Structure 1
Amino acid sequence: MTETLGFDTRAVHAGSAPDPATGARQVPIYQTTAYVFRDADQAARLFGLQEVGYIYSRLTNPTISALQARVADLEGGAGAVCCSSGHAAQIMALFPLMAPGKNIVVSTRLYGGTVTQFSQTIKRFGWSAKFVDLDDLEAVRGAIDDNTQAIFCESISNPGGYLTDIPAIAAIADAAGLPLIVDNTLATPYLCRPIEMGATLVVHSLTKYMTGNGTVTGGAVVDSGRFDWSASGRFPSLSEPEPAYHGLKFQEALGPMAFTFHGIAIGLRDLGMTMNPQGAHYTLLGIETLGLRMPKHVANAQKIAEWLETDPRVSSVSYGGLASSPRAEVAARVYPKGAGALFTFSLTGGYDAAVKLVDNLKLFSHVANLGDARSLAIHSASTTHSQLTDAQKIAAGAGPDVVRLSIGIEDADDLIADLDQALAAASD
């Protein structure tokens, strides 16, 4: 799909065409495990990566392929691999890059589950992560060593809504010959296109704004197709002969699609983090309205954050769209369409008031999700970030007095009224 078409047009049409067998206009749900080969020669070519096609739905499926093409198109990438969740996407992104003894440099401002994944879980693979404040560019440079394989950040962080200066971090990654991986879940390609700013890979939890209706989980890894995986010798999985495919060198044979094909042919084959076709179908439907939903999400968040900032029961609001925000300059330069719709605020009454507020909300739903059409709230310190140390919670923007809001597409005045009555109850 050519990028001369507008965003909303591509959100509806990219990756899809009338079904050649039936003429069905919407992408069908191909609920099948396997696909009949034309003959033995075609089967051999498919298994040898000499022909592109469908073998088995752990690897490829037409419904999921349509979603991959659409997400890649919207992000401006060469290709994409969809998988079972956002957490799966993070492992899928790292898998071709890492080896025992290798490390990644990551932001201190990350979703709590990601902090745990990077500080604990990846150790089981022999990998490690160095957590750095990305505002300190010298610290980012200083954390890179001979075993560093990538830099990882979120475009807009969960829960604090911190806005990353992607061009600045991309410049550091480029100078070090490293890929920059950006989790673009909260911004979506509507608000931010990290590849245009120098990112190598973009990951998504499609569960959130991309689907937008809280129905399914899913993840995606989008490759820019611009990184030379053979330049430094750091990435042998992509540059050196692959034994499972008779010595095929992915970069040499597949060029800009090397990372994407590796993600399918090895990542999905061996890790098995497969998305289901019905989930892909729901996400395709959600993406069709992404360009309609995101402006409403952002406008509501802006109005509610400005209202909260003036309330004496609130000690602070962490939203990059506020004129008072320390990220205001980054917001204007990197996120001109808006600072997203997820943010936090702190209550003057501390932990007890924060918990009481969540318990008294009526229109906001108290759930462990975000990016829904419905407005959501949670006390991160006791839930999504509870596995972290107190210092890690504060660094991530999830202190004990903090409530996280995911602002939906309802009428903003109704949401403000709900917050007002909950704040009154929390102040009693």
Structure 2
Amino acid sequence: MKPMTMIFAIYLYFTNGALAQDFRCRPDSGTMVLGGQQHLHVQAVDTLMADTLLRWIDTLSGFEVLDRGEWNKSQNAYIRHIRFAAFDTGGFALPAIPGSAAESLYVHFPLGDPGELRTIKDIETTPAGLQGLLLRIAALLFVVLLLVVLWQFFRADQLRVYGYEPPKLQDAATRALDALEKLRAAQLWQRGQVGPFYDALSSIARNFLEEGLFLPARASTTAETAKLMSDHHPALEHSEDLLLFLRRCDAVKFAQRIPEIGAHDTFMSLVERFIRMHRPLSERLLAQNLPRYHTLLEAAVANQFADPNAAIPEKLVAALPDSSGLEEIVLHRGLLSSHHYLLPTSWVQLHHLHTGSFHRWQAGILGSGRSRFWKLALPLLAAPFLAIFLPLIAVAGLLRGERLFARGIFGVDANGRIALRKISGRWR
């Protein structure tokens, strides 16, 4: 509303009849700049009339009362100085009050630097409260969680290839030689326990044949062991000497035919020499007989892996007999790339068992998109909601004893092949 409206409203209300004789109203100056401030001097015999004026001014646009002032008693009248500001421009006629000369009011833009404009209201600074601080912390936490969620979506199941390295265990030769040292320290035959001595020495020799040379000697007779050695290792040195020793052990056990006392150390030295001589062969056979994808799986299944010739962790080997066939598993390399594989059912179950809550949600969302657009849009739409509920998902996973961001045991390499994740200790 223009200042003219206010002026005329005041005029119509206060300048009629005898009422006008009891009221006076004038500004400091007839001109002012936009945003400028000045005082309106009010003199009245009745404060009720001037209070009505103030309430009326409060309802007008274009003017802002900054300081309402207070009534001061002066002789037979009340005087009040009201500070106001104008934020509308124009030239306005101030209606004449009976007994006084007519005045005018002109509001204009400042002639100098616009930066000289005075504020219509005094600037008040309010210290930030606890609520504002909490809101900022919550907003920052939301942004951090959102970035974490998006990062998880973008990396999905992709990973660098890590080759499984079997744990460094004692080889069969080392275990056999350690057992010989313990037997020598026990001095069984010296204490008259000849039968137990030959039983222990025969057991050490057969264990080395089974674990070091991969011949099932523990469950075989001496004759069967001789045939196994002839079939699988025909050029084995000192094999006849070892077989002779095994036959003497059978004679001690079943016929109570005790060798001469000088033969005890001779047979122990023979077993020790046989083990040390064939230690390199044992190590080569151990490396060759490690369980590998291409030896335990069909060619089509093994070729899905980044390295079909790689060794398989013992935990996967142990789970293989429990498989009832093949099952599909879907792995995602980023938002737009999904890969389908067929693996033994027990391996797929192990993968899901070691998958965290967030990854299960992520896999469901990534698998829902049927087109490239939805494969990209669904994760971006779901990310804010997952960021909000991520703490709750983490607590629920903690109660179930699972890691929130665990991604199972299988991933996808850069060529779209399956690779094992680097999970320390769990596949040993």
TM-score (norm 1): 0.18
Higher RCO (C-alpha 8 Å, min separation 6): 1
